[in-house]
Amino acid sequence: MAGVADAAFRTVAKRFGAAYCVSEMASCKGLVYSDRKTAELLTISETERPAAIQLFGCEPEFAAKAVETAERFAPDIIDLNAGCPVPKVTGNGAGSALMKDPKLFAEMVTALVRSAHVPVTVKIRAGWDSEHINACEIAHIAEECGAAAVAVHGRTKTQMYSGKADREVIAAVKQRVNIPVIGNGDVDSVESCVGMYSETGCDLVMIGRGAYGDPWLFRDIDDYFEGRERKPAPTLDERLGIMREQIELLVKCKGEFIGMKEARAQAAFYLKGMNGAARYRGMCGKLTAINDLYELIELIKAENKTSNGGNDNV
């Protein structure tokens, strides 16, 4: 979720019913050495709460000091990412690489728990690869070291985001530990969320990529569990309106130059399945100013309403 789960994304997700937010990853060592992006990564608005600050690293001495910096931003939870599969993270021994070294993983969790004044949670994967599925062992270590909950993504590191998340692994972790287990992986609909709960017995469901360009997913899941009638899919105007709101928040937080660079991918997520989506996504890749976005929105509305005979549903 790095580069996606920023304050703008989280604010929109919360407005549509997300129960809890987790920040983008922040490097423990980077925080200790006063990384210039610290405030951008760690600032949590009241709208986003409850929210966690997510840390990554592989050096316990830096983890303890990073907590001190993170807690200046008053997070409700500190989360250790031991599940990120990206090579630039695992190549330095952090993220899911921690699962290959249970002793070091234990030292990282212990350092965070001893230093934090809020609960510490951990995000892990099924294991490093299909020959080393050790989520149960790692989750048990997390519990023994004082973690308050563990989130489990049902893929291995080597799978990255290919294939399917293994819910049996998540179910096995739930049977192994007494702390809450959060199920993660392939949840992109009400049905897949219900399936995650029923097939794993998990206590909560974490949604990541499934919410890209679709904050209505949180609303629909809430409606299901609260027994409310399912609402219609968002209209074209509604979809473009929320896209605009999120990107305006992004620009407000990061400035137009950086914000619009990051908005290119964010805007493209909202266009999936839309008439002419491929061409519009190509145009998203050239966004440089907020006015470019406004012009694209007006173009999409005009072309789609013409092609649909005035019907703005997508």
The DSSP bridge partners found for residue 163 are: none
Integer Cα distance of 116 and 96 in angstroms: 22
157 with 127: CB under 8 angstroms? yes
CA dihedral sign, ordered 230, 198, 83, 66: positive
124 with 183: CB under 8 angstroms? no
Q: Which of 189, 111, 196, 180 is nearest to 145 (CA)?
A: 111
**HSE toward the beta carbon, residue 47, CA cutoff 13 A:** 12
Q: Which residues are catalytic?
A: 84
Residue positions counted in the chain = 314
Kind and range of the H or E element at 144? Answer: helix 135-144
Provide the 10 A C-beta neighbour count for residue 219: 18
